[in-house]
Amino acid sequence: MSEENSMDTQSLVITNGMFIIDDIENSKYNVHYRNVPGGGGTFAILGACIISPNNKTSKGLKWIVDKGSDFPDEITKEIKSWGTDARFRDGFDRLTTKGLNYYEGDNDLRKFKFLTAKKQIDVQDWVSTFGRETINKIQSFHLLCSGSRCSKIIDALMKVRSTKSVKPVIIWEPFPDLCDFEHQNDIRYVMQRDDVIVILSPNAEESSRLFGLHGKEPSNLEECFELAHLFDEFMNENNMCILRCGSLGCISITDRLGSAERAYDHFPAYHFKTKCKVVDPTGGGNSFLGGFAIAYALTRNLATASICGNIAASAIIEQIGIPRYDPAHKTWNGLTLLDRLEFYLSQPGLQYNVGDVYKSLSQ
């Protein structure tokens, strides 16, 4: 079997996140950018690319890029350089989905709105684009959607998958505006399912709203742990949660299978001590989950996936837009995956062996 055909057999991660061309504005800092590649799907795949140790792994990343009549050629070339299994769908009768990222308040809370019509991606889009056999082999499904839509996607996915004995792993990023107390029952319903493995990952501000705490975002690690413990009974023993806490890193909440209690583990942000290198947080959460998804697909290890999520986010937030990629040396902003692993795991309290983690991702 040729290397190319070997790579085609990889079915590691797929996302329902869209490709969006972004405008980014922050009047506080006089920031105005136009036509920046973005969207939850794009940043999730970028995060997974950053964690992919080789071209074979990158080829296992599946996503759909919907191109409107105004789609820039240079963006097509950029996407192809990443070496993923990106499928372009031409729609010459419509404009590419465009959005505006803007920031409000003293805490620079990110807001988003669509500037053109969006084109959502569902299970049937995956099947018609990649084939039923490929979808049956996918290791991790990254979903960015509301609770009600997540239920519908899982229902549709279970109908097309023939491998009923293996539970699909759903890495779920709840849609921010619908992650609140009003929609709590929709989210709880998904987290009580036992026909799939769901790893929920809201950020701390969204989680605060979810539990009716009026959006009071935790300001320290102790408050983050208090918030994390609210998820214990919210989900069944089969499912897990990764609470993303911005500059404080993340807290992983394990399942209860084989144990009477869940474990709560903290992983610091990559730039916890180098905050001066953080330029723009746009896409940081999406890329965290892309890095997490590919690492979990390769290792089935929550700690390794959490480490990789933080590493993936680091490269995304170091500039406006997407990081600089060098395909020849597989570096992002001048650093390889191994470079970033060595830096991250050198932080106090992280008792993980760099070689062991890298090897687990390279198998």
Structural domains of the chain sorted by starting position, each given as residue range(s) with its CATH number in brackets: 3-362 (3.40.1190.20)
Cα–Cα distance, 316 to 312 (Å, whole number): 7
Count other C-beta atoms under 10 Å from residue 113's C-beta.
8
pTM exceeds 0.85 for this model: yes
Q: Which of 101, 96, 43 is nearest to 69 (CA)?
A: 96
The encoded tokens of residue 140 equal 């991790």
Cα–Cα distance, 301 to 294 (Å, whole number): 11
The encoded tokens of residue 64 equal 């759909």
Give every CB contact of residue 338 below 8 A, 6+ residues apart in sequence.
354, 358
Core vs surface per residue 243-280: b (16+ CB within 10 A) or e: bbbbebbbbbbbbbeeeeebebebbbbbbeeeeeebeb
Q: Which of 163, 220, 158 is nearest to 195 (CA)?
A: 158
pLDDT of res. 90: 95
Element (H, E) at 228: helix 221-228
Mean pLDDT (whole number) for 32-40: 90
pLDDT of res. 28: 74
Count other C-beta atoms under 10 Å from residue 155's C-beta.
12
Mean pLDDT (whole number) for 312-330: 94
Give residue-wise pLDDT tens across range 77-94.
999 999 999 999 999 999
Give, in order, the Cα–Cα distances in Å from 350 to each of 217, 250, 306.
25, 13, 12
Give residue-wise pLDDT tens across range 239-279.
999 999 999 999 999 999 887 899 999 999 999 999 999 99
